[in-house]
Chain A
Amino acid sequence: MTPMVDIAFLLLIFYMATTQFKPPEARAVELPRSHSQIELPDKDIINVTITKYDSIYVDWIEKVTINIDGVDVETNGRVVRTVDKYTVAPEILRARGKNIKALVIIKADKRASFGVMQDVMKQMQENHLERFLIITDPETDVEAG
Chain B
Amino acid sequence: MGGEVAERAPKEAKKGLRRPKRRIAIRIDMTPMVDIAFLLLIFYMVTTVFAMPQAMEINLPPAEEDSLQVEVKESNLLTVRVDGEGRYWWNLKRVTPENLPKLIPAPENQADSIRQNFNGPALREILVQENQANPKLNTLILINRDATYSDMVNILDEIDVIERSWNTTLAKQLKKEVSDLTKEDGKFSYRYAIGEWEDADDRKIAAAIQAAQAGGEL
Contact call A128/B63, Cβ cutoff below 8 A: yes
- Interface membership of A110, Cβ < 8 A: yes
- Interface membership of A31, Cβ < 8 A: yes
Contact call B150/A38, Cβ cutoff below 8 A: no
Contact call A124/B54, Cβ cutoff below 8 A: no
Type the 1/0 row for A99-135, where 1 means its CB is closer than 8 Å to any CB of B.
0000001101111111111100100111010111111
A5 and B36 CA atoms in complex are apart in Å by 12
A contact face: mostly helix, strand, loop, or mixed: mixed
Q: How far is the CB of A129 from chain B (nearest CB, A)?
A: 8
- Interface membership of A144, Cβ < 8 A: yes
Q: How far is the CB of A11 from chain B (nearest CB, A)?
A: 9
- Interface membership of B59, Cβ < 8 A: yes
Contact call A143/B121, Cβ cutoff below 8 A: yes
In this complex, how many residues of chain A approach chain B with their Cβ under 8 Å: the count is: 48
A133 and B82 CA atoms in complex are apart in Å by 22
Residue of B with least CB distance to A11: B41
- Interface membership of A72, Cβ < 8 A: no
- Interface membership of B62, Cβ < 8 A: yes
Residue of A with least CB distance to B153: A32
- Interface membership of A8, Cβ < 8 A: yes
Type the 1/0 row for B49-60, where 1 means its CB is closer than 8 Å to any CB of A.
011111111111
Q: How far is the CB of A116 from chain B (nearest CB, A)?
A: 8
Task: Select the residue from A1, A114, A135 with max chain B CB neighbours within 10 A.
Answer: A114
Which residue in B41, B60, B148, B153 is a CB contact (below 8 Å) of A136?
B153
Residue of A with least CB distance to B53: A135
A106 and B153 CA atoms in complex are apart in Å by 12
Contact call B54/A38, Cβ cutoff below 8 A: yes
A77 and B46 CA atoms in complex are apart in Å by 35
- Interface membership of B129, Cβ < 8 A: no
Which residue in A32, A112, A130 is a CB contact (below 8 Å) of B154?
A32
Contact call A35/B161, Cβ cutoff below 8 A: yes
Residues of A within 8 A of B56 (CB): 34, 36, 38, 133-136
Residues of A within 8 A of B153 (CB): 32-34, 110, 134, 136
Contact call B54/A40, Cβ cutoff below 8 A: yes
Contact call B149/A117, Cβ cutoff below 8 A: yes
Contact call B53/A8, Cβ cutoff below 8 A: no
Binding site for B on A (CB under 8 A): 1-2, 5, 8-9, 12, 21, 31-40, 50, 105-106, 108-118, 121, 124-126, 128, 130-139, 143-144
Supply 9 A–B pairs (Cβ within 8 Å), ascending by A.
A34-B56, A34-B153, A38-B55, A39-B54, A108-B149, A113-B145, A117-B152, A125-B61, A135-B56
Q: Which 8 A-B pairs have the closest CB atoms?
A: A115-B145, A110-B150, A32-B150, A133-B55, A34-B157, A32-B153, A130-B60, A112-B149
